[in-house]
């Protein structure tokens, strides 16, 4: 606190001995490109939020609270493989695609290969989750969660398509 007071006294003294008044000047000439980019990012984030949440919003309005809880459980369990792998895919894909950004044909080729690999791995994983849901839900979660069997059979069928949006 003592140093703060000393520096405050010095600042006041310097301003008395050598007054220097400057008003800030604002120049917005270069801001249009930054504002345009920011607006595109905001629009993209809002669109992504709507895309990823519209099912929950609609189900919350149509079904009961208990049904919504069952849906959330099924959605969460079905999303685990996607959530664990999507971050890794993004960490690898973004730098790789940024190096190739000048060559559109090569990006298309690598994107097609990446989507094929994702399809090869994740269609069987999610279809397998769907197939074993009737046995796995009561075994792992207990008999109380038996109403979650049908959502656990249906939701994983949509997850491979959501996985394909990861590199895009």
CA distance 129 to 149: 11
**Average pLDDT over the chain, rounded to an integer:** 85
pLDDT of 54: 87
CA–CA distance, 49 with 52 (Å, rounded to integer): 5
Query: Would you mind telling me the total number of residues written for the chain in this entry?
Result: 168
- Separation CA 94–CA 9 (nearest Å): 52
> What pLDDT shows up at residue 44?
92
Rounded CA gap, 134 and 109, in Å? 39
Predicted local confidence at residue 66, as pLDDT:
85
pLDDT value of position 94: 77
Structure tokens at 152: 């656990």
Taking residues 122-149, what's their average pLDDT? 91
Q: pLDDT over 90 for what percent of the chain? A: 22
Cβ of 60: how many Cβ atoms within 10 Å? 15
Q: Is 83 helix (H, G, I), strand (E, B) or coil?
A: helix
36-86 pLDDT, tens digit per residue, is 999 999 999 999 888 878 888 888 888 888 888 888 889 888 888 888 887
Using pLDDT thresholds of 50, 70 and 90, give the confidence band for residue 26: confident
pTM: 0.63
Q: What is the mean pLDDT of residues 153-160?
A: 90
17-31, 131-145, 147-161: range with lowest mean pLDDT: 17-31
How far, in Å, CA of 164 to CA of 118, rounded? 7
Confidence tier at 166 by pLDDT (50, 70, 90): confident
């Amino acid at each position: 606190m003592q140093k703060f007071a000393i520096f405050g006294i010095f600042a006041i003294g310097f301003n008395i001995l050598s007054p220097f008044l400057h008003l800030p000047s604002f120049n917005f000439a270069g801001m249009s490109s930054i504002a345009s980019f920011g607006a595109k990012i905001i629009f993209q984030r809002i669109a992504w939020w709507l895309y990823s949440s519209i099912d929950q919003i609609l189900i919350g309005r149509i079904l009961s609270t208990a049904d919504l809880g069952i849906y959330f459980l099924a959605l969460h369990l079905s999303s685990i493989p996607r959530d664990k792998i999507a971050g890794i895919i993004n960490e690898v894909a973004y730098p790789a695609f940024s190096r190739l950004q000048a060559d559109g044909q090569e990006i298309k080729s690598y994107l097609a290969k990446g989507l094929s690999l994702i399809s090869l791995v994740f269609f069987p994983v999610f279809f397998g989750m769907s197939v074993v849901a009737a046995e796995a839900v009561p075994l792992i979660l207990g008999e109380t969660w038996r109403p979650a069997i049908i959502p656990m059979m249906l939701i994983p069928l949509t997850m491979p398509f959501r996985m394909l949006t990861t590199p895009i």
